[in-house]
Amino acid sequence: PHAVLGAVLTVRGRSSRWIFVDLAGSERVKKSDVDGVRMMEAMATNASLSALQRVIQALVRRDAHVPYRDHRLTMLLRQSLGVGARTAVVVTVSQAAQHWEETRSSVRFAREYHKVTGTVSRREEVDVEGLRAALERAE
């Protein structure tokens, strides 16, 4: 499973939303020799990482449709991916030869995400009540 921590930081009246996600590494079910609950967890981890990879590929290709809704993880990260967001990716890898495939996969993931481009724009908060009052006055 993945670990997620969210926070809102407000400095001088400006707020920023921070999300820290520790993505669990993909599990090679045959290699890890797991079964039962651990196998279900590994399959769920793989499904979420696959969904994230599809989103990143769509962003890189600038597809009209980005499949954010394919998984809860990608829905959570939607505002943190692509246009209007500043995102850092930190990859931890192993130098051990037996983990070469996982290391290579992790580096490829980071390299693919690095290709995502977008413009950072300032987002303005909308005063919903003020907007509602203005609309009522206009009627």
Strands (DSSP E) found in the chain: 3-11, 14-22
Reading the chain (139 residues) residue by residue, the pLDDT tens digits are: 678 888 998 999 888 888 888 887 666 666 667 778 877 887 788 888 889 999 999 988 988 999 999 999 899 888 888 667 777 888 887 778 887 888 888 888 888 888 887 644 444 454 556 656 666 776 5
Contact 32, 55 (CB under 8 A): no
| Predicted model pTM | 0.70
What is the sign, positive or negative, of the torsion defined by CA atoms of 20, 79, 55, 42? positive
Secondary structure (3-state) at 126: coil
Give every CB contact of residue 126 below 8 A, 6+ residues apart in sequence: none
The rounded distance, in Å, linking the Cα atoms of 9 and 19 is 11
Q: Can you say how many angstroms the Cα of residue 103 is from the centroid of all Cα atoms in its chain?
A: 19
Place of tokens 């290699």: 31
42-59 pLDDT tens trace: 778 888 888 999 999 998
Local structure of residue 9 (DSSP, 8 states)? E
Number of neighbours of residue 80 by Cβ within 10 angstroms: 14
